[in-house]
Chain A
Amino acid sequence: QVQLVESGGGVVQPGDSLRLSCAASGFTFSDSGMHWVRQAPGKGLEWVAFIRFDGSNKYYVDSVKGRFTISRDNSKNTLYLQMNSLRVEDTAIYYCAKDKGSGITWLGWFDPWGRGTLVTVSS
């Protein structure tokens, strides 16, 4: 079955960097667009970034543009999120999610999701 497992979260200080990983299995990763979605403690969901199946295009929410970079290694079935210049407001559970589309067609739907990894930014 489809499985997404995030890792790399932790406690960091404002201004620090962190790289999240999402290991994918159970589907053709190289044929799937992938998203990062975050959820601040006790708050709602916020889409963060998307990368097309081949890494050719990447999109971000305005609040992370210039600080976060989404990438993928299709040979390792792994999605990444490099987070630089972290802020207190970046504190959240970060979920990776598969886009429901495939190949050149991406839908902007999230299914399924991983279990998430917690990032805490605190001084």
Chain B
Amino acid sequence: EVHLAESGGGLVQPGGSLRLSCAASGFTFNSYWMHWVRQAPGKGLVWVSFVNSDGTITRYADSVKGRFTISRDNANNTLYLQMNNLRPEDTGIYYCTRAVVVTDFDSWGQGALVTVSS
């Protein structure tokens, strides 16, 4: 069974940093593109970032470009999101999700809550 488990969320002050992790199991991790999607409280889904199967290609939403870095460790089946210079508008639940074909997100983690507030 496919399982994705995020960790690393929490409360951080504006300008601070956090690193999210997503532990994957139940599938061949290095065969899939992986994404981060976030959801602000009471709001809709917003795509954040993508990394291809071997980690050589990454893309970011304009709102996080230059501040967030996505990476993966295929030896340990783990996806990461390094978030720097955090802003209040980055507050939300961050989901790790697997893509079958580009945007076919067939498996989602339970999410990690990130709160940016002073």
Co-assembled chains A and B: no
Which residues in A have some Cβ–Cβ distance to B below 8 Å? none
